Structure 1
Amino acid sequence: MSSLNRVILIGRLVRDPELRTTNTGKSVVEFSIAVDKRFKPQDPSQPTADFFRCKAWDKTAEFVSNYLSKGRLAAVEGRIETRKFVDKEGNNREIFEIVADSVQGLDRPRDDAPGNAGGGQSYGGGGGRPAGGAAPSPDEYDPFADE
């Protein structure tokens, strides 16, 4: 019997993405998104959203770092991965994170947000913007064009 590990989430970035480069030269970005709950809790002290840690690699990481920021609406498609570690106090910990294959910006940046060009752009899974340079404007963007 086969198994399947796929997840698609739509939510807002909780903070600005953090891009870094590994020792082997690969780009990786970490970010978190808040996904509104379908039904709001009756108790106002309960959270109205679920929070997910996300990670993306290579060109997808660069796209997220360059074009998304805190508060932006994004669709994240990928898989759930678990990681176990021992924290500074010696406690065993396990975290769940989304390893994104594809990330798409679903809204336009605010006019006062510096460095945020274009909306509705995506990268991952072999599509998206070409590496380097500015993203095309939403009017010029053709998701079916050959790159």
Structure 2
Amino acid sequence: MAFRSALRTALPQNVSRSFSTSAVQNDIARMQLLGRLVADPEQRTTRTGKDYVKYTVATTDPLGPPNESGERGEPTSSFHSIFAFGEGPVSRLTKLTKGTQVLVDADFKVQYEPSESGGGQTNYLVQHRSLTVVSRPKPAGEA
């Protein structure tokens, strides 16, 4: 009983809203990626003149269930384009090279843009929060 009352006083008030249908300011969509850089990160400039870096991380997709003969298919890869803004990330990310294994923490946003023809296009925006270098590629010539 003492644990429950201590827990109630220790937690913020909005914790009790766990299945509420109204938006909470702290609701987020975040993802982590563990993969390799497909190419050296590219520094670019927005229309307003701010620098940013775009980089792509390749990840290996999990294998699906076996087919009728009991065999699993070949592994496939997914490619994730990530955008990083701010002076610090721009200067650090441009020093990385293709093949570097990274752990990326990013915000994830899905935007749907309907078209006049009745269909539409779904855009996925992945914005960099942090990046940790797991390993660097071996120089050419090393086995």
- With normalisation by structure 2, the TM-score equals 0.61
Larger helix proportion, structure 1 or 2? 2
- Alignment partner, residue 101 of structure 1: 129
Q: Number of matched residues?
A: 107
Name the CA shift for 1:85/1:14 in 2 (closer, same or farther; >3 Å).
farther
Would the aligned equivalents of 1:52 and 1:97 in 2 still touch at CA under 8 Å?
no
Identity, in percent, stands at 25
1:4 CA displacement: 2.3
- From 70, 73, 76, the equivalent of 2:101 is 73
- With normalisation by structure 1, the TM-score equals 0.59
Give runs of ≥4 in structure 1 deviating > 6 Å.
none
- Alignment partner, residue 43 of structure 1: 73
Would the aligned equivalents of 1:27 and 1:62 in 2 still touch at CA under 8 Å?
no
Give the greater-gyration-radius structure (CA).
2
Pair 1:10 & 2:34 matched: yes
Amino acid at match of 1:95: N
- For 1:106 and 1:5, the matched residues in 2 are separated by 24
The equivalences for 1:48-127 within 5 A come to 49-58=77-86, 59-65=88-94, 67-84=95-112, 92-112=120-140
1:77 CA displacement: 0.8
Q: Where do 5+ consecutive residues of structure 1 fail to align?
A: 113-147
- Alignment partner, residue 31 of structure 1: 55
Name the CA shift for 1:84/1:18 in 2 (closer, same or farther; >3 Å).
farther
